[in-house]
Amino acid sequence: MPNQPTYKLSEEELIARLRARDAQALSVLYDMYSAALYGVVLQIVKVEETAEDVLQEGFVKIWNSFHSYDEAKGRLFTWMINICRNLAIDKIRSKQHRVSQKTQDIPVSPRANLGTESFRPEHIGVREITEKLSPDQKQIIDLMYFEGMTQSEIAEEFDIPLGTVKTRARSAIKLLGKFFKGRE
């Protein structure tokens, strides 16, 4: 977790020193803003180690691209928060992040955390009925409804054309509808 500020400058003085490539000003910038930026990043990525990595990437990017900051377009903090937020979103969308989340010891799947709050009556018997689907259809339904993946994520992760994923999902849902009507 980032430290509390130890030294402050006015925003104008800080910007001037950063434009002059003053490395000490970067340290002051970190002290002044890291806690707030860390909080934003942590809310997005949910994992402290990942948030720390993203925050570090954010400060490197801020330092390396400071020449592109334009105070006429917005405040320094707003510019920095956008950089860190975008890096955090890129991180959680990355295939590497999704794979690392799946391989951690603690289950992150909604299916693994079936408490009373996540109990959904409409799921009663659905698992059994999905067993009647073809393996391709069952895989898509399991990933979409029980793992929470989007059709685009499924297509990307399993290297299946998006149109194929959509077709399998649509035909599986039609078939499931017939199975449910037969149970009534």
The CATH code of the domain that includes 172 is: 1.10.10.10
Same domain for 171 and 123? yes
**What is the predicted pLDDT for the residue at 116?**
43
In this predicted structure, what is the pLDDT of residue 98?
Answer: 64
Mean pLDDT calculated for residue range 156-183: 82
Evaluate whether 44 touches 88 at the Cβ level (below 8 Å): yes
Helix (H, G, I), strand (E, B) or coil at 7: coil
Q: Is there a single domain that holds both residue 133 and residue 66?
A: no
Confirm if 137 and 175 have CB atoms less than 8 A apart: yes
Q: Which of 62, 47, 64, 57 is closest to 87 using CA atoms? A: 57
Nearest-angstrom CA–CA distance, 99 and 102: 5
Residue 3 forms part of a structural domain: no
Looking at the fold, whether 84 and 139 belong to one and the same domain comes out as no
Report the pLDDT averaged over residues 3-21: 81
Q: Give the confidence band of 103 by pLDDT, cuts at 50, 70, 90.
A: low
Tell me, yes or no, whether 4 lies in a domain. Answer: no
Tell me, what's the pLDDT at 21? 94
The pLDDT score that the predictor gives to residue 152 is 87
Q: What is the pLDDT of residue 118?
A: 47
Confidence (pTM): 0.52
Residue 17, in any domain of the structure: yes
* Number of domains present in the structure of the chain: 2
Domain extent for 157 = 110-183
Does residue 1 form part of some domain?
no
